[in-house]
Amino acid sequence: MINLETPKKFRMLVEQAHRVAEEIFRPNSRRYDRAEHQYPKELDMLGALLDGMNASGSGEGAGAAGVRRSGDGDTGNRNGSNLATVLGTIELCWGDVGFLLTMPRQGLGNAAIASVATDEQLERFKGKWAAMAITEPHCGSDSAAIRTTARLDGDHYVLNGDKIFVTAGERADLIVVWATLDRNAGRAAIKSFVVEKGTPGLELVRLEHKLGIRASDTAQFALRDCRVPKENLLGDPEIRTDKGFAGVMQTFDNTRPLVAAMGVGLARACLEQTRQLLQQAGVDLDPDRPAYAQHAAAAELLRLEADFEAARLLTLQAAWMADNRKPNSLQASMAKAKAGRSCVEIALKCVELCGALGYAETELLEKWARDAKIIDIFEGTQQIQQLIVARRLLGKTSAELK
């Protein structure tokens, strides 16, 4: 049975993550928002600290790549690395989402490797920073429509295609590329390949200029006869129509709660700042009084806080289920959909409630409102999450419900 209080063994982690957000992320947040594509050097020391914690076995998910598979011997009720990572992510994104996305060796590609790699691959790619390359110019939300091809040629796969919106693409050491072994075989032929930076045929085309999360670089790549050792394929190399898309999609069951956690952390930051500004303006907030009996701004903030709490609880549930080896695809999509939508609405409403202060650069609310939108888009858009939820609840396949 899930306990929604922060587990005692993770309280130090949460406290440390909050301290990092408060002392490193927030003080530098505006600086790197203005200096887009400039790498935050302040993160190097933090990355080294996380590496040391993970190497010693004492690190449990303060960054984006903390998701690990449960061991076969695990029994009973567990609060493991998925929940730890979510709790750490919430605190860090209370500081700055862009900083979290560009933390060294903590990319979403690392989560993909941790989810499906063999023990040999885990050891070989240990200590490397991995980005994830899924989206293509002609297919955004429909990952099954990927056209990047992978052709087996001797001991190598030859990759050809284009990838866009690759988070931390320029800074990462590895790129986890999604490609198809056979376009005619549908979803079952989609596989993920680890491509090392510097591999001939992998070309960085450009870096994107973005609305938000400017501290994080977002890249476009071209793959032209890029030869990747066949040992770099993650998961089963066979095309198995009985399993379909399950192999590569397993990654999302772990990473979508992390993205939801980003939204929860950002939304909490907005709410806390707005509450403080409203109180400074003389607006009293009393959760024990009905909405009609208090200031309209106070009533609206209390409504937003209730919406935030729903997103937070869904996120914790999805992570807890992953730790306890319970199928969580439905809950992961529900959490991501709820947190993405709530995060955007809360950020924009907080800007509105704070008036000129919310819209100006004197407060971080303006920046948070820009950062929020990406939470509702990447790792599967709001619409895609709702479609996945509908399929799960109605028992429909992707072919039956599009």
Find the CATH number of the domain harbouring 288: 1.20.140.10
Final residue in a domain of this structure, among 234, 266, 294: 234
> Distance between CA atoms of 115 and 378, rounded to whole angstroms?
19
**Residue 19 pLDDT:** 95
Number of Cβ within a 10 Å radius of residue 198: 7
Please report which confidence band the pLDDT of residue 144 belongs to, taking 50, 70 and 90 as the band edges. confident
349 located within any domain: yes
Q: Which residues are catalytic?
A: 379
**Window from 103-107, 117-121, 296-300 with minimum mean pLDDT:** 103-107
**Residue 171 pLDDT:** 96
Final residue in a domain of this structure, among 106, 124, 142: 124
121: tokens are 């691959």
Is residue 374 domain-shared with residue 251, that is, in the same domain? yes
Is residue 15 domain-shared with residue 50, that is, in the same domain? yes
Final residue in a domain of this structure, among 73, 90, 124: 124
- Count the residues in the chain: 402
85 located within any domain: yes
Is residue 95 domain-shared with residue 153, that is, in the same domain? no
337 located within any domain: yes
Is residue 260 domain-shared with residue 375, that is, in the same domain? yes
Angle between helices 329-353 and 382-394 (to 10 degrees): 140
The tally of domains found in the chain comes to 3
- CATH code of the domain in which 181 resides: 2.40.110.10
Rg (CA), the chain: 21
- Percent of the chain surpassing pLDDT 70: 90
Please report which confidence band the pLDDT of residue 61 belongs to, taking 50, 70 and 90 as the band edges. very low
Is residue 21 domain-shared with residue 98, that is, in the same domain? yes
Is residue 120 domain-shared with residue 135, that is, in the same domain? no
Whether pLDDT at 63 is above 60: no
Is residue 224 domain-shared with residue 266, that is, in the same domain? no
Whether pLDDT at 154 is above 70: yes
167 located within any domain: yes
**For the whole model, what pTM was predicted?**
0.91
The most distant pair of C-alpha atoms in the chain lies apart, rounded to whole Å, by: 74
399 located within any domain: no
402 located within any domain: no
Is residue 41 domain-shared with residue 151, that is, in the same domain? no
Mean pLDDT computed over every residue of the chain: 89
> Distance between CA atoms of 402 and 388, rounded to whole angstroms?
10
- CATH code of the domain in which 64 resides: 1.10.540
Whether pLDDT at 236 is above 60: yes
Whether pLDDT at 174 is above 90: yes
341 located within any domain: yes
Q: Which domain holds residue 303?
A: 246-394
Q: Coil, strand, or helix at residue 400?
A: coil
- Burial of 119-149, coded b for 16+ CB within 10 Å and e otherwise, reads eebeeebeebbbbbbbbbeeebeebbebebb
- Burial of 306-328, coded b for 16+ CB within 10 Å and e otherwise, reads ebbeebbebbbbbbbbbbbeeeb
**Residue 80 pLDDT:** 84
Please report which confidence band the pLDDT of residue 241 belongs to, taking 50, 70 and 90 as the band edges. low
Closest to 241 in 3D by CA, of 185, 178, 325, 184: 185
Please report which confidence band the pLDDT of residue 62 belongs to, taking 50, 70 and 90 as the band edges. very low
pLDDT in tens, 295-320: 999 999 999 999 999 999 999 999 99
252 located within any domain: yes
Is residue 263 domain-shared with residue 382, that is, in the same domain? yes
Is residue 109 domain-shared with residue 161, that is, in the same domain? no
Is residue 173 domain-shared with residue 194, that is, in the same domain? yes
Is residue 380 domain-shared with residue 289, that is, in the same domain? yes
Long-range contact list for 296-302, CB < 8 A, 24+ apart? Answer: 297/353, 300/349, 300/353, 301/271, 301/274, 301/275, 301/353
